[in-house]
Amino acid sequence: MLGGPFPLSFVMSLEPLDTSVTVRKLQEQAHIRLGPEGRLRIALDLSEAVRKLRLAGLRSSQPDVSEAELVRRFILETHGLQPEAIP
């Protein structure tokens, strides 16, 4: 059954289910005020934060691995590759 137990329209909805219409409109207005450059800055900042968070997780779970190897493993993981598969 496509979409599992929910109707396809529910699964494919881009509307957040945990945000009121009022708050969504306020967010949209804030995004418009930011402009393309501001929205891009937020996206880049979030991407950088996630990258740092994942590297910290790798560092915590593998404390004996060098920083260069952690970055290598992060890159391989990000691209869906297994570290042991690449010399």
78 part of a folded domain: yes
**Number of separate domains in the chain:** 1
- How many angstroms separate the CA atoms of 48 and 63, rounded? 21
pLDDT tens sequence across 17-51: 888 999 999 999 999 999 999 999 999 999 999 99
14 part of a folded domain: no
69 part of a folded domain: yes
35 part of a folded domain: yes
Sign of CA dihedral 57, 62, 66, 68: negative
What would the mean pLDDT of 74-86 be, rounded to a whole number? 78
- How many angstroms separate the CA atoms of 77 and 66, rounded? 16
CB count within 10 Å of CB 34 equals 13
- How many angstroms separate the CA atoms of 42 and 61, rounded? 29
5 part of a folded domain: no
Is residue 59 a contact partner of residue 74, using CB atoms and an 8 Å limit? no
71 part of a folded domain: yes
pLDDT tens sequence across 49-76: 999 999 999 999 999 999 999 998 898 8
Question: Residue 78: which domain range?
Answer: 20-85
